[in-house]
Amino acid sequence: MLPSPDPTLAVDDAHLPAAAKLDRCIVLLDGLFRSVRKDSAARPQVSLEKQFSAAKLVVTYVGPQLAVDDLRTLQALLAIASDAVEHDPPAGDRTSRAPLILELSYRRLGQVAGHSSAGSGPVTRRLEASVARLCEGVLSRRDGRATLAVGEPLLSHVEPGDAGLRRAGLRVRLHPELARAARAGRRGSHYLQLSMTEVRLLKGESARLIHHRLCHLNRGEELEHGLDTLVSYLSGVESSALTRHQWRHGAERVREAIEELVRVLGWGVSDAGVNAQGVPKFLIHRPA
């Protein structure tokens, strides 16, 4: 049962959100988002698990394989939520456990995600399919003592509780951990901030996946990353598990992604030698 008053957030259509707050698990769960063939009729079901030893946290995901379209959709929804709670103090209360519900049009969702023809039939159908997959995917977390948000889907469709509510194209409730990240505000150091301004400039799928995984880099920071690590960001598995052909293809995609980050976003990427196994390393710098 929904709490009263209705927790639906008002979405401001006048501007595009500049950033989204993300739960670290959404960013660091290997294989959650991958490139998928455009002609794939159906997505395979996957079961993913990652243990974060420092926090004694285990995160699992069960559901359809999510692709880059789904990543864009989720990033846009989280950006809209993060932006909306700043203008709604009760909904933005960091201690609140009330559901966080968004009501918006698919046109607005497409605009925030960076689709050039937002509101068109093809884009709306892509967004509808993406939202449907996100509603099928179940994310759970346990910290060794208890399980949090057991069996909660990333998104849940919500029917209007009041006949007088504006009938939007989309009304969804966020997974509790995603809602917690949106409510974290600027002081939420446990969460990661993603630049939606940068997201909307990117075009390539590989660049989007790499950029998503590198959002832990704050402005003005730099960090070394091995080519094998970057390849695993795209493949969703440890690079050692790839065939030689898969490794070479992944390395080529990484270099294309790096080129786009440099050319489009102005990021700095320089050679940083090789690791003990002779694999190239890169120093990646995000401009201030």
User: Helices marked H in 90-204 — which ranges?
Assistant: 106-113, 121-136, 176-182, 196-199
Q: What is the pLDDT of residues 205-263, one digit of tens each?
A: 999 999 999 988 888 999 999 999 999 999 988 888 889 999 999 999 999 999 999 99
Reported pTM: 0.87
Q: Does the pLDDT at position 7 exceed 70? A: no
**Contact predicate 208/232, CB 8 Å:** no
Which of 149-153, 211-215, 270-274 has the weakest average pLDDT? Answer: 149-153
**Contact predicate 24/42, CB 8 Å:** no
Phi-psi region at 220: left, alpha or beta (left = phi > 0; alpha = psi -120 to 50): left
Domain 205-285 top-level CATH class = mainly alpha
Which of 77-81, 93-97, 228-232, 281-285 has the weakest average pLDDT? Answer: 93-97
Q: Does the pLDDT at position 61 exceed 60? A: yes
Q: What is the pLDDT of residues 109-131, one digit of tens each?
A: 999 999 999 889 999 999 999 99
Q: Where do the structural domains in the chain lie, given as residue ranges?
A: 8-199, 205-285
Token pair belonging to 242:
């790839």
Give the Cα separation of 32 and 76 in Å (integer). 17
Q: Which of 148, 284, 137, 151 is nearest to 207 (CA)?
A: 284
Mean pLDDT of the chain: 84
CB-based burial, 17-40: b 16+ in 10 Å, e otherwise:
bebbbbbbbbbebbbbbbbbeeee
Q: What is the reported pLDDT for 144?
A: 62
